[in-house]
Structure 1
Amino acid sequence: MVTGTSSENCDSRAVQKFCCAPTDEEALYSALNPPQNDLDDDEEPIRHNVAAHAAWFDGEDRFAAPAKLVVILERAALERSRELVGTHAKAPRPDHELQFTFDALETLLDSQLNEAGRLIIYLHSAEEVIVEVHPGFCMPSSLQRFAKIMLSLLRRRRFTGSTPEAPAVLRVVDGPWDQLIPKGTAWYALSPQGESIHLKEFVRDVAGSTGFGCLPPSRSSERVPGRGSGRDSGDEDVGHIVFSIGASAGDATKDATFRGNSLQRLSICPWDLTGAACCRMLCSEFESLWNVHRC
């Protein structure tokens, strides 16, 4: 006779289910305290730094002075998160498409520029979903965890962590980019096939002088104000700069869909760099230019 307490006989699925079934007390507790979301064991999603208190979402102007660097991680493989979640999930590989996005986003969030509130981050997925990233979002420790968060985000259009009532730290926003980026903002795309530049000199040219130097304007200068950009003409000269950076394998910005309103593609290195490396170099130059230091 099989009993529920005999571990040596817990070989069949039926017996295992019986042995591992919750007690009445546990079942009652689960019913009264259901998980808040499918990430009920999630760690605190907000990092405790200056950026966590930055302006955020509706009613607050994220593009108010001082000037900010805006980075759009293009062709982010958010939809491929499904491959790493569930009973048939694949073991994560270093070259998985989502790993490129994970590394680039982690680099941006950990930067001194972000902690100082001088960085704005968007994800632009392979299926053209635009995600706004809170500057205080705390990256998970593993790629699988990140994949779960991305799936929850795509399904619910927002992610708050373990507390649904808390402000979202990730949010899907509706385009087009004209309604998200202020009118007159200079916009460039990084590509190994772009025009070769010296990054330090370029940054000081476009961000350190009025009118962004002698470089050609982006299409953003011809746009009409939209959400977050309906401001006085004087506010358009704050000096924000947008960079589209590939967050997947290959040259993401080669496709016009993934370089936004930029008219010019730039190459900062004679050989291919990962998105994370590009983000690190870009943040470093702007930190130096704007004299940003970690407290």
Structure 2
Amino acid sequence: MHLRKVSAEWDYPQHAHPQYEFNYVLEGEQQLIVNNHSFLQRAGDLVLLRPGDTHSSRSGNGRPFTYFCIHFDIDDKLLISLLSRLNPVLFTSESHIAHRLGPVLSRLVEIAASEPGGITMSQRMRLQAAVFDLFAQLWEVFSLEADVSSPGTYEKIELAHQIRSRLQGLVYQQFKQELPGDSHYGIDDIASELGISASHCYRVFRQVFGISPRVYLSEQMLHEAKVLLDDHSLSVSQISSLLGYRDIAHFSRQFKRWSSQSPREYRESGE
């Protein structure tokens, strides 16, 4: 985590990271671009970013501003499932979640503003307590909406994570390498491997993650395609092959369906 006061001319270029991030403005205004959507963040407003979200920032009004951000990762499947249901979103200072999390974030800001020599052991303990309180407040605000308190929740979430793991394997070609060239391994095959029906696979995944397995797979493929397109040492044809497409035309059509841009248009827009 860090606390920064930046000049009117400051800007941070587009980037992404593998952790979650809370970004909290204390003074002034910040303009955030998250996955090509613009958010104007004023004092007291809170933004939640998920792993892999591309984002950039600068002053929102041409004046200096102060912000605090905390990056975190978790391995609790209930919390992961909860956070995965939330789109990158701005919570204004008047929102319920900003009111609930504001006092906890203020305690974290106080610790982040400690003397440069490093935090003391007592501050470290307060830091850990504040982080757990942050998660507790987040859980209480969103758990009812996410319906994670019904009977069989843990079993359902465990199954949904198994499905997600196999979907990620599709993206990274872990399965295709073992299959004949004419095979079309997909979601129905994942359901069969797990001993469940395709309809149950779709239903459980949607209940836990808020989207269908097919939409999740498309989002992951789009993210991976963008990562590869950002590497200008690779041609679009090479990227098409790496992602398992038979030809560049098929990849281009699919990418445009996902993002409303062709691969070349996306690449040129980032130059």
Q: Which has the higher helix share?
A: 2
What TM-score do the two structures reach when normalised by structure 2?
A: 0.27
- Which protein shows a greater Rg? 1
